[in-house]
A and B are shown apart, each in its own frame.
Chain A
Amino acid sequence: MQRRVIFNGTALPLLLLAPQLAVTAVFFLWPAGVAVYQSVLQQDAWGLRTEFVGLRNFAEVFADPDWRAAAWNTALFSAAVAGLAMGAALVLAVQADKSIRGARAYRTLLIWPYAVAPAVAAVLWLFLFHPSIGLIGRALNANGIPWDTRLNGGQAMALVVLAAAWKQVSYNFIFFLAGLQAIPKSVLEAAAIDGARPVRRFWTVVFPLLSPTTFFLLVVNLVYAFFDTFGTIHALTGGGPGKATETLIYKAYVEGVQNTNLGSSAAQSVILMVIVVALTMVQFRFVERRVHY
């Protein structure tokens, strides 16, 4: 079925690929290469004294209980963000897909949050949930629910999950809505004629047909939770209280940028890179098999 375009020679295809290859080389391969190189070095902040230390940085990272705690935080955080963001988006998409008055307006409004920068979104959430100046934070405290994200690790985690997931709902919403609209109406009508109630129609017809979208979004959301939530965490909690909201990416930042400990930070980045590559491969190999296309 697929139409294949064959180029004569290699010059033209290489030329056409060149911009993308250049971007990949400059913005991915080069920094990644430097990170791998740096991860086997021990260096002072100023770069004046450098020593090759082999895998010692990696050994120290794995032996560090704080790093293992951050790994656990990351697992919890990513699962919660992906679950919440996709669940909420699916509910909203199903509702917005119904033929109701002003559906277009709802859709536009639901897409808006995606345009807000992560740090700005985090500040908005902070204004809502700050224990002494936040609207909701104060209301909670006034009603006898002790709310303090500066000291309560669980509450701080809940807050960053909420803020990070909210940012991603719009993105998921767009894809779910497109996925829903691509489902042929005839299939749904046939199911309805066979006597399937709306809930049953959703779980037996709509949801399986949405699975390619869901699978794609799962990958995107996990990568988002791993890498793109730095700004949110930085502005909301700074990894605290204690280390309750410190994820792996945040720890790599703290180690490298705040503590100017480049060797350890590079080792952590390399480990992160391996984790994400592995995660993506597992998803494509095993999860994809069970997806209906």
Chain B
Amino acid sequence: MLRRNLAALALAALAGFAPFWTSAARAQGGGGQPVELQFWHGLAQPLGGQLEGVVAAFNESQNRYRIVPTFRGSYPETMVAAIAAFRANAAPHLVQMFEVGTGTMMAAGRAVKPTHELLSEAGVQVDFSDYLPAVRGYFQTNDGRQMSMPFNSSTAVMYWNKDAFRRAGLDPETPPKTWRELEDAARKLKAAGVACPYTTSWPGWIQVEQVSSIHDQPLASLGNGFGGLGAELKVNNPLMVRHMDNLIRWQKEELFRYGGRDAAADGLFPNGECAIATLSAGARSRITREAKFQWGTAMLPYYDDVPGAPRNSIIGGASLWALNRGPQGGRSAEEWRGLAEFFRFVSQTDVAAKWHTDTGYVPLTRAAYEKVKASGYYAQTPGADVPIEQLLRGGEMTENTRGIRLGGYVEIRNIIQEEMEKAFQGQGSGQAALAAITTRGNQVLRNFERQSR
């Protein structure tokens, strides 16, 4: 009996190793077997399934490479898993990394294979000039070289509840354009008995990063960190102080409700609790599914007395990074080539257009945008083009509107949320919160600079 159990155990152990052997053998690519490439992503259902659909379409389209997608948890979890795997010399070929991690990836040195290098070595052409500037710029070096492959990009927009607007005597077809108009609308909504006139998800991304970009204000020096690791936070500026004080005041007057960190407030709009909400453009499908009232999509509010405002918003979402196997490198030219082919595949107009309409992420290229526009999609789903128009708004991007390129930004974004929470608890003014964000954030930046030398 015992012996049989031992034998079974030994068999099971062997079986556990078997996939390892075969995948190692397959990576050689010999004998007509496709080269297997591991792809770790951080998208839960239903988006994860749609991503896996794109991969399946690529695998169908040719037979030299086979990409194996694996869900590794949330974006931060995927990032940490990839880093740990790299340290153990078992990194995936491709990892989906959220935009917050971009600074960390840029400074990763030989851990990553820059996309421009990957494509030119494989002789594969991708026309990045057709990509939306806000999308490609976020993942480029200061001199315009593409470091990672844009894939799923969103931005933040404002949703409003038309039924609630009607009840409050507001014009349901005219959403507030500026923060002042939003305050007025919130007051009327409150007077009409709406318990939560306005809320926001992603407090750091929407109330600090987006507000800075839309008003062309620097979030950090050296062009928001694009210019090097020596950048310092610049959020303690008059515009941010004004905005933070407004939020604190609105919260006290119950015009604004803090709904929690990250996407925690997403549910407060479709359930009808909050009448106005600034959320990710990606919340659209959930609202469509759950909201039992009429609603609309509009651009984020701005302060109309700030010269130059409004400009483009910045993106959120993630891009694809090619990774080395471990500190000793260890990828074959054939493996890199497979990734280059996949990058070309996702940049095709048809694929990009389908990805956009399936998921609600913005179209990556102008060609895809034009194609979807020509198909009449935006006429059928009003508001679906608002995020794109907002990303293209205001002409040429400036160094304040390209995005954020700060090492350790995952931590800094949490610091921003923590200090905002403290301010909303009544522990201090907007100025105090921003000063604390600056001090604590700069510590993170200096620490990161020291580590990355």
Contacts and interface: CB of A to CB of B under 8 A. Distances in A.
A195 B427 CA distance: 57
Interface residues of A, number: 25
A46 B268 CA distance: 38
Output the residue of A42, A45, A150, A242 with the most chain B CB within 10 A: A45
Given A240-B418, A242-B425, 20 more contacts: A42-B451, A43-B451, A44-B107, A44-B108, A44-B451, A45-B451, A46-B86, A46-B108, A46-B111, A47-B327, A48-B108, A48-B327, A49-B453, A132-B273, A150-B258, A151-B421, A242-B422, A242-B427, A243-B418, A261-B408
Contacts of B418: 240-243
B76 to A, nearest CB: 6
A259 B87 contact: no
Give the top 10 A-B pairs by smallest Cβ distance, nearest first. A241-B421, A259-B411, A242-B422, A44-B451, A46-B111, A47-B87, A150-B260, A242-B421, A242-B418, A45-B83
Nearest to B88: A47
B104 interface: yes
A45 B267 CA distance: 34
Contact of B259 (A46, A48, A150, A240): A150
Interface string B430-444: 000000000000001
Contacts of B444: 259
B80 interface: yes
B141 interface: no
B247 to A, nearest CB: 13
Contacts of A132: 267-268, 271, 273
A44 B452 contact: yes
A73 interface: no
Interface in A44-65: 44-49
Given A48-B110, A259-B410, A240 B261 contact: yes
B263 interface: no
Contact of A241 (B267, B271, B411, B425): B425
A225 B277 CA distance: 38
Contacts of A133: 267
Output the residue of B260, B410, B419 with the most chain A CB within 10 A: B260
A87 B271 CA distance: 41
Interface in B387-437: 408, 410-411, 414, 417-419, 421-422, 424-425, 427
A132 to B, nearest CB: 6
A196 B271 CA distance: 61
B424 A151 contact: yes
Contacts of A150: 258-260, 264, 421
A283 interface: no
A231 B190 CA distance: 38
Contacts of B3: none
Contacts of B419: 242
A258 B258 contact: no
Contacts of B33: none
Contacts of A45: 83, 104, 108, 451
Contacts of B264: 150
A211 interface: no
Interface of B: 76, 80, 83, 86-87, 104, 107-111, 258-261, 264, 267-268, 271, 273, 327, 408, 410-411, 414, 417-419, 421-422, 424-425, 427, 444, 447, 450-453
A49 B327 CA distance: 10
A238 interface: yes
Which secondary structure characterizes the binding site on chain B? helix
A72 B43 CA distance: 37
A234 to B, nearest CB: 12
Contacts of A260: 80, 83, 104
A113 interface: no
A243 B421 CA distance: 9
Interface in A127-155: 132-133, 150-153
20 contacts: A42-B451, A44-B107, A44-B108, A45-B83, A45-B104, A46-B83, A46-B109, A48-B108, A151-B424, A151-B425, A152-B425, A240-B261, A240-B421, A241-B418, A241-B425, A242-B422, A258-B410, A258-B414, A259-B444, A261-B411
Contact of A48 (B109, B261, B410, B447): B109
A260 B453 CA distance: 16
A168 to B, nearest CB: 27
Contacts of A259: 408, 410-411, 444
B439 to A, nearest CB: 10
A132 B274 CA distance: 11
B18 to A, nearest CB: 25
A258 B80 contact: yes
Contacts of A257: 80
Contacts of A49: 109, 451-453
A293 B116 CA distance: 74
B80 A46 contact: no
Nearest to A64: B443
A241 B258 CA distance: 11
Contacts of A43: 451
A257 B453 CA distance: 21
A257 B83 CA distance: 10
A215 B408 CA distance: 44
A287 to B, nearest CB: 37
Nearest to B109: A48
B76 A48 contact: no
A240 B261 CA distance: 9
A262 B273 CA distance: 42
A211 B418 CA distance: 43
Given A47-B87, A47-B327, A259-B411, A42 B450 contact: yes
Contacts of B83: 45-46, 260
A104 B286 CA distance: 48
Contacts of A238: 261
A241 B80 CA distance: 24
Contacts of B427: 242
B273 A48 contact: no
A44 B451 CA distance: 5
Contacts of B108: 44-46, 48
A268 to B, nearest CB: 14
A254 B80 CA distance: 12
Nearest to A47: B87
